[in-house]
Structure 1
Amino acid sequence: MTTVNEPIAATKYATPCLPMMMGSALQPKPEPTESRHDAAAIRSIYDLNQKYEQKHAAKIWVEPALNRTLVSFQANKQRAVYRWYKYKEGFSAELVEYFLDRGKVHSGKLLDPFAGSGVALFAASARGLGAEGIELLPIGQRVIATKQLIDQHLSAADVDKLATLARTHPWTQIKTTDSLHALRITRGAYPPETANRIAQFSAYIRTETPHIADLLTFALLCILESVSYTRKDGQYLRWDHRSGRRQGKQIFDKGSIHSFDTAITAKLDQMVADLRDQGASNSLFAQPPTAHGPITLHAGSCLEILPNFSAGSFDCIMTSPPYCNRYDYTRTYALELAYLGVTEESLVDLRQAMVSCTVENREKDLIKMQPQWAKAIAVANAHPLLQMILSYLESEKQNNRLNNNGIPRMVRGYFYEMACVIQECARIMKPNAPLIMVNDNVRYAGVSISVDIILSEFAEALGFEMDSILVLPTGKGNSSQQMGLHGREPLRKCVYIWKRKK
Structure 2
Amino acid sequence: MTALFDKWIGESTPVFLGTNHLSQELPFSSWYRFKEAFSPEIVRQAIVDHPAKVETCIDPFSGSGTTALTAQFLGVPSTSFEVNPFLADLGRAKTECYDIDELRSSFRSVIESTRDQENSFDRNSGAWLPETFVEPGKNGKWLFNADVAHQVFQFRDAISRIKDPTVKRLFEVILGSSLIENSNVVINGKGRRYRRNWQQRPKTKYDLLDTLQVRAERCFLDIESFNSKSATPARIELQDVRDEGLCFPEFDVSIFSPPYPNSFDYTDVYNVELWMLGYLNNRNQNVDLRKQTLTSHVQVSKTFSRLVDQPRLLTETVAQLRLQEDLLWDKRIPRMIETYFFEMSNLLEKLAKSKKRNGRVWVVVGNSQYAGVQIETGRILAEIAKGLGYTVVKNEISRKLRTSPQQGGSPRLGEAVLVLA
Q: 1:267 aligns with which of 215, 224, 227?
A: 215
User: Aligned-pair distance for 1:389?
Assistant: 1.6
Aligned counterparts of 2:357 and 2:416: Cα–Cα separation in 1: 24
**Counterparts of 1:99-498 in structure 2 under 5 Å?**
99-104=46-51, 106-148=53-95, 151-152=96-97, 154-161=98-105, 164=108, 169-175=112-118, 177=122, 179-180=125-126, 181-183=128-130, 186=133, 188-210=142-164, 211-240=166-195, 242=197, 259-278=207-226, 282-284=227-229, 292=232, 294-304=233-243, 307-309=246-248, 313-341=250-278, 342=280, 343-364=282-303, 377-380=307-310, 383-397=311-325, 400-472=326-398, 474-483=399-408, 488=410, 490-498=412-420
Aligned counterparts of 1:364 and 1:274: Cα–Cα separation in 2: 44
What's the secondary structure of 1:452's corresponding residue?
Answer: helix
Aligned counterparts of 2:251 and 2:168: Cα–Cα separation in 1: 35
- The answer to whether the 8 A contact 1:437-1:497 is kept is yes
What's the secondary structure of 1:321's corresponding residue?
Answer: coil
CA-atom RMSD in angstroms: 2.8
The one-letter code matched in structure 1 to 2:309 is V
Aligned counterparts of 2:292 and 2:83: Cα–Cα separation in 1: 8
User: Aligned-pair distance for 1:71?
Assistant: 2.3
Task: Return 233-242 or 456-465, whichever deviates more.
Answer: 233-242
What's the secondary structure of 2:327's corresponding residue?
Answer: coil
- The answer to whether the 8 A contact 1:189-1:243 is kept is no
Distance 1:184 1:113, change over 3 A: farther
- The aligned residue for residue 21 of structure 2 is 74
- The answer to whether the 8 A contact 1:227-1:260 is kept is yes
Higher-Rg member (1/2): 1
The one-letter code matched in structure 2 to 1:377 is L
The one-letter code matched in structure 2 to 1:193 is D
Distance 1:363 1:388, change over 3 A: farther
- The answer to whether the 8 A contact 2:61-2:257 is kept is yes
What's the secondary structure of 1:226's corresponding residue?
Answer: helix
User: Aligned-pair distance for 1:141?
Assistant: 1.4
Aligned counterparts of 2:342 and 2:289: Cα–Cα separation in 1: 19
Aligned counterparts of 2:201 and 2:364: Cα–Cα separation in 1: 30
User: Aligned-pair distance for 1:254?
Assistant: 11
Distance 1:254 1:396, change over 3 A: farther
Distance 1:99 1:339, change over 3 A: same
Distance 1:378 1:303, change over 3 A: same
- How many corresponding residue pairs? 394
Aligned counterparts of 1:254 and 1:306: Cα–Cα separation in 2: 51
Aligned counterparts of 1:220 and 1:88: Cα–Cα separation in 2: 19
Distance 1:238 1:216, change over 3 A: same
The one-letter code matched in structure 1 to 2:162 is E
The one-letter code matched in structure 2 to 1:199 is F
User: Aligned-pair distance for 1:186?
Assistant: 4.1
- The answer to whether the 8 A contact 1:459-1:466 is kept is yes
- The answer to whether the 8 A contact 2:77-2:234 is kept is yes
Distance 1:276 1:428, change over 3 A: closer
User: Aligned-pair distance for 1:204?
Assistant: 2.2
Aligned counterparts of 1:307 and 1:272: Cα–Cα separation in 2: 36
Distance 1:335 1:144, change over 3 A: same
Aligned counterparts of 2:219 and 2:179: Cα–Cα separation in 1: 16
User: Aligned-pair distance for 1:494?
Assistant: 1.7
- The answer to whether the 8 A contact 1:302-1:421 is kept is yes
- The answer to whether the 8 A contact 2:44-2:70 is kept is yes
* Percent of aligned pairs with the same amino acid: 23
- The answer to whether the 8 A contact 1:438-1:496 is kept is yes
Higher RCO, 1 vs 2 (CA within 8 Å, ≥6 residues apart): 1
- The answer to whether the 8 A contact 1:223-1:263 is kept is yes
The one-letter code matched in structure 1 to 2:240 is S
What's the secondary structure of 1:432's corresponding residue?
Answer: strand
Aligned counterparts of 1:377 and 1:456: Cα–Cα separation in 2: 15
User: Aligned-pair distance for 1:328?
Assistant: 0.9
